Amino acid sequence: MSGDEMNPAAVAQAVEDIQGDDRWMSQHTRFVQECKDAEPEVLFIGDSMVQLMQQYEIWRELFSPLHALNFGIGGDTTCNVLWRLQNGELDNIGPKVTVVWVGTNNHEHSAEQVAGGILAIAQLLTSRLPKTKVVVLGLLARGEWPNPLREKNVAVNSFLRSWLPRLGHTQFLDVGAGFVHSDETISTRDMFDFLHLTAAGYRAIAKPLIDLLLQILEGTPEEKRASLV
Amino acid sequence: MSSEDSNPAATPTPGVDTQGDGRWMSLHNHFVSNSKDKEPDVLFVGDSLVQLLYQFEVWRDLFSPLHALNFGVGGDATQHVLWRLSNGELGHISPKVVVLWVGTNNHGHTAEQICGGIMAIVQLIKDKLPKAYTLVLGVLPRGKMPNPLRERNAQVNKLVQEAVSSLPHASLLNVDPGFVHSDGSISHQDLYDYLHLTPQGYQAVCQPLHAHLKGLLEKQAEN
């Protein structure tokens, strides 16, 4: 496992305002404010894969009813998510489940480093939110045809599969099944730009995800018994 | 007026695959092959604001019935759209109206250069599709609070409006329904990241756009 000090993907880092309209910081500030007002049972944190989900009907149908908050920001790397979590986005909330989906934008880092960054996020969550169960979503394939980023994302998932079970209260969920067809292509019906999901793409990943969330939220037998006391 | 050589925003430039998965070229190739199969009356071309429009119900409700095609690519600036349209995306199709929405991603370019880029696209469309009408959509404000990009985008719109005013085959439509509130802020309910439109934001933009488009198509039918 990569030590944090040597892993650049596990170093918290804010996004610099290069374009000139400060949108990243505006979004972060809004999320910090949402933490003051809301009492989410489920927290989603990550990049545009998380952020875009909230714009489709599926969010209102399946995830809003679970009292879910969406703290996704397009373009974010593991470093950016770490920074946000350390700078207010976990204050005053106690979600039962935190869903983490990030890593596909870590272009400067190796697969092992990216997995280490995701691990660091899971570790931070379990230490700051002792009651939360962390669900880490696997990175999806990308690009119309086989390419080095697909291999990299597969490798990240592979590291996560072996590392995450060693962390308590954390599990890995692979939602990528079916996106790569037998001819090795990805369809624009699922990913409109071979990276971001369409409504149909989100519907496909929502099924296994919602099943797992409901399972966790409905609680283990031990928790159910304890809550009856 | 900037000549192509000295205006980077008006120099056809393909997207560069910096990430390693060839997505920009994949999308371009898809659009080229779409242009071989389809017969659109309306072609939407531009950046992510065009691309994302296709993902929401509003497209099916308002624009599919008009036989519209969507050639939006996230991240595209004017020089990228210029390259795509020069390299096959206008082959084999003869839409009556081309809706052009681009300019917000031209980072590092001045408002004059961006206007030059947009006008180069308008000229290219006229050259390739002499009977088509080009409807340029105004670049929207962005950022939560006032910032230099809002000023730049407003200036682009002003310059484009002046440039198209003498042209019979093009016009600028301001599609901003009033996203900027009296305190200067933009709401995430309209622009979820202070740049991209929510479905609610698209409704506010698209109702008047749709009405305007229908009017244009009826006029084209009369000619």
Are the Cβ atoms of A142 and B23 closer than 8 angstroms?
yes
**pLDDT tens track for B103-158:** 999 999 999 999 999 999 999 999 999 999 999 999 999 999 999 999 999 999 99
**Which chain A residues are closer than 8 Å to B54 by Cβ?**
192
- Report which residue type is found at A79: C
**pLDDT tens track for A36-71:** 999 999 999 999 999 999 999 999 999 999 999 999
pLDDT for A219 beyond 90 = no
Taking one residue from A and the other from B, the number of pairs with CB-CB distance under 8 angstroms is 87
User: What is the band of A5 on the pLDDT scale with cuts at 50, 70, 90?
Assistant: low
Which residues in chain A (34-93) have CB-CB distances under 8 A to chain B? 51, 54-57, 73-74
The residues of B whose Cβ lies within 8 A of any Cβ of A are 18-23, 26-27, 30, 51, 54-57, 73-74, 107, 142-145, 147-150, 188, 192-195, 198-199
Q: What average pLDDT does chain A have?
A: 94
pLDDT for A224 beyond 60 = no
Interface check A200 vs B, CB under 8 A: no
**pLDDT tens track for A125-143:** 999 999 999 999 999 999 9
Are the Cβ atoms of B145 and A150 closer than 8 angstroms?
no
Reported as half-sphere exposure (CB side, CA atoms, 13 A), residue A75 has a value of: 12
The pLDDT assigned to B220 comes to 78
**Residues of A annotated catalytic, as ranges:** 48, 193, 196
The pLDDT assigned to B223 comes to 65
Average pLDDT (A94-112) is 98
Give the three-state DSSP class for A176: coil
User: What is the band of B37 on the pLDDT scale with cuts at 50, 70, 90?
Assistant: confident
Burial A28-67 (b: 16+ CB within 10 A, else e): beebbebbeeeebbbbbbbbbbbbbbbbbebbeebbeebe
Q: What average pLDDT does chain B have?
A: 95
pTM for this entry: 0.94
Q: Which helix (H) or strand (E) holds A69?
A: strand A68-72
The pLDDT assigned to A229 comes to 43
Report the residue from B22, B56, B145 with minimal CB separation from A143: B22
Gap from A228 CA to chain B (nearest CA, Å): 40
Query: Could you identify the residue written with the tokens 């944090």?
Result: A4
Q: Which one has a higher pLDDT value, B63 or A168?
A: B63
Q: Are A194 and A144 in contact (CB under 8 A)?
A: yes
The pLDDT assigned to A2 comes to 46
Task: Give the C-alpha separation, B16 to B22, whole Å.
Answer: 9
Average pLDDT (B14-38) is 94
Average pLDDT (B188-210) is 97
Residue % of chain B over a pLDDT of 90: 92
The pLDDT assigned to B5 comes to 60
Neighbouring-strand partners of residue B191: B197
**pLDDT tens track for A156-214:** 999 999 999 999 999 999 999 999 999 999 999 999 999 999 999 999 999 999 999 99
Q: Which two tokens stand for residue B163?
A: 């440039």
Average pLDDT (A102-115) is 98
Are the Cβ atoms of A23 and B194 closer than 8 angstroms?
yes
pLDDT for B27 beyond 90 = yes
pLDDT for A227 beyond 60 = no
